[in-house]
Amino acid sequence: MGLEDGVTREERAMLTFAVQWAPFGGGDEFILPQFGITPGTFYHRLRAILFSTTGQRLGPRSTQQLLNLCATKVGPVSPP
């Protein structure tokens, strides 16, 4: 994924999981056992990571693919 230092272990695990499972619809049934959070919480956190400098290191194509997955799972980003 080309991630640099400064990425937390949790962020790295979530990004790795999301990249691995995105082609198959997200792997929702594995989120609770692996991360201890609901899929909805996972996708909200993932979106926050993707909007951070951490997520921007993934590259535009992967980032957009994962943002699209988040939008499908929890809806589009609401304006502030």
pLDDT one-digit tens code per residue, 42-78: 999 999 999 987 777 888 999 999 999 999 999 988 7
Give the type of residue at 46: L
pLDDT digits (tens, 9 = 90+) for 1-50: 445 567 889 999 999 999 999 999 999 999 999 999 999 999 999 999 99
* Distance in angstroms (rounded) separating the CA atoms of residues 18 and 65: 10
**pLDDT value of residue 15:** 95
Cα-Cα-Cα-Cα dihedral sign, residues 51, 53, 54, 56: positive
Give me the pLDDT at residue 32, please.
Answer: 98
Extents of the domains making up the chain: 27-74
Question: What pLDDT was estimated at residue 79?
Answer: 61
The pTM score is 0.87
